[in-house]
C-alpha cells in the first residue's frame, strides 16, 4: 500500500458518475445541456488564499454538543454521541496542516436545521448541526457530535438517505474547495441510496465510509469513527465536486 502512495496517478474520469444520472432525480435538472466553458486564465483570487493558519476558532466550534443552544439553557442534544476524526493528507501520505475542515449534518431524527427542510422529525433545540476546525501540524481534525439519522427524500416513492455527514476541506484557494460525505460502516441503506449508486466503482464508495475505531472511542461516553481525507492521487477520497 505504501508503494502505491509513492507515485502520482492521473485521475480516472470514469471513476466519477456522469452529470446526468436519471436514477438520481435532481441530477436531471442540474446536469449541463451544453459543453462546459474552459477557463484558460485563472484570476489571482482563484489561485491564492485564503490562508487559515491565523484563523481564530471558538472554544466549541468543533463540538456540536456544545456549540448551539437555542434556548440558552444547559441541555445537550438528543442522540448517539460520537467522535468523528481523521487526517487530511495528499497522495503521498503527507499531511495537509492548517487547512479548514467544515461539516454539517441532520440531527438524530434526520432533520436539518434549515428552512427548506420540512421533514416531520422535530428540531432539537440544543443542536445546530454545523462545525469547523483547522487541521494540526500532522493533518489531524476532530469533531464531537451526534450520529445523524436517516431521512426520506422525494427521489422516488420510498427513497431514504443513509446516515451521513457532509464534509468540506479547503485547499490553497477558494477554487480548490472539496466536498464529500461520510457514511457509517455497516449501514444497510448505503447500497440502496440512489446517490451512492451513481458511483459504479465500489472502491469510490469505500472512500466515503467512516470506520468504527474502538481505540479512539471514549468508554461510557461516545463511539469514534475515523474518516481520512486523501486530496489527490490513486487513493483519493471521492469528492462530489470533481
Whether 151 sits among the annotated catalytic residues: the reply is yes
Whether 164 sits among the annotated catalytic residues: the reply is yes
Question: How many CA within 13 A on the CB side of residue 13?
Answer: 2
Residue 92 contacts by C-beta under 8 Å, 6 or more apart in sequence? 5, 6, 233
Residue given cell 435532481 in the structure block:
26
Q: Which of 24, 144, 164, 183 is catalytic?
A: 164
Whether 24 sits among the annotated catalytic residues: the reply is no
- The Cα 131–Cα 141 span in angstroms is 11
Whether 216 sits among the annotated catalytic residues: the reply is no
Q: Which of 24, 87, 111, 112 is catalytic?
A: 112
Whether 166 sits among the annotated catalytic residues: the reply is yes
Q: Which of 111, 132, 144, 161 is catalytic?
A: 161
Is residue 232 within 8 Å of residue 91, measured between CB atoms? yes
Q: Which residues are catalytic?
A: 112, 151, 161, 164, 166
Amino acid at each position: 500500500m505504501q508503494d502505491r502512495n509513492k507515485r502520482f496517478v492521473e485521475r480516472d474520469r470514469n471513476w466519477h458518475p456522469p452529470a446526468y444520472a436519471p436514477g438520481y432525480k435532481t441530477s436531471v435538472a442540474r446536469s449541463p445541456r451544453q459543453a462546459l466553458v474552459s477557463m484558460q486564465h485563472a484570476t489571482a483570487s482563484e489561485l491564492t488564499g485564503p490562508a487559515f493558519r491565523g484563523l481564530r476558532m471558538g472554544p466549541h466550534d468543533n463540538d456540536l454538543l456544545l456549540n448551539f443552544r437555542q434556548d440558552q439553557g444547559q441541555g445537550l442534544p438528543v442522540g448517539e454521541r460520537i467522535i468523528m476524526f481523521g487526517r487530511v493528507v495528499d497522495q503521498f501520505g503527507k499531511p495537509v496542516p492548517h487547512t479548514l475542515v467544515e461539516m454539517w449534518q441532520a440531527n438524530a431524527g434526520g432533520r436539518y436545521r434549515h428552512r427548506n427542510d420540512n421533514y416531520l422529525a422535530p428540531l432539537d433545540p440544543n443542536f445546530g448541526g454545523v462545525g469547523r476546525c483547522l487541521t494540526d501540524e500532522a493533518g489531524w481534525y476532530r469533531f464531537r457530535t451526534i450520529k445523524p439519522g436517516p431521512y426520506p427524500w422525494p427521489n422516488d416513492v420510498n427513497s431514504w438517505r443513509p446516515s451521513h455527514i457532509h464534509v468540506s476541506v479547503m485547499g490553497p484557494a477558494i477554487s480548490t474547495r472539496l466536498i464529500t460525505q461520510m457514511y457509517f460502516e455497516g449501514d444497510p441503506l448505503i447500497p440502496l441510496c440512489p446517490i451512492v449508486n451513481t458511483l459504479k466503482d465500489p472502491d469510490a464508495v469505500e472512500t466515503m465510509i467512516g470506520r468504527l475505531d474502538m481505540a479512539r472511542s471514549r468508554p461510557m461516553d461516545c463511539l469514534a469513527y475515523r474518516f481520512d481525507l486523501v486530496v489527490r492521487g490513486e487513493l483519493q477520497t471521492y469528492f462530489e465536486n470533481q
